[in-house]
Amino acid sequence: MSWILLFLAGLFEIGWAICLKRSDGFSILWPSVLAVVLMIASIWLLTMSLKELPVGTAYAVWTGIGAIGTALIGMIYLGESRDTLRLICLTMIAAGIVGLKLFSKEA
């Protein structure tokens, strides 16, 4: 269950990062409000996952999901660079997340 909570926390992290972009520096109300709500939800879910998972593993997975997801949404929907080296780096982050999951004693 902790891994599911952690995965959801990572998805909410993607959401708040995209909302921050849309909020234009917290100058647009609804994306700003949604960003704050998603931040709170993401951190709460991370906190719940930490009841069973080691903090180093959980934090790395949480930020990795957020980084990969936000970067992919940026590439697909926001016209950000799809440079080969950037994609390779995202793949390495994904490999690290999978490795942390596979080699965690709390699997």
26's tokens: 């917290």
pLDDT digits (tens, 9 = 90+) for 35-78: 999 999 999 999 999 999 999 999 999 999 999 999 999 999 99
Neighbours of 100 (CB within 10 A): 18
pLDDT digits (tens, 9 = 90+) for 72-101: 999 999 999 999 999 999 999 999 999 988
Please state which of the ranges 1-5, 38-42, 77-81, 103-107 shows the lowest mean pLDDT.
103-107
pTM of the model: 0.89
Q: How many residues does the chain have?
A: 107
94's tokens: 């994904």
pLDDT at 106: 62
pLDDT at 63: 96
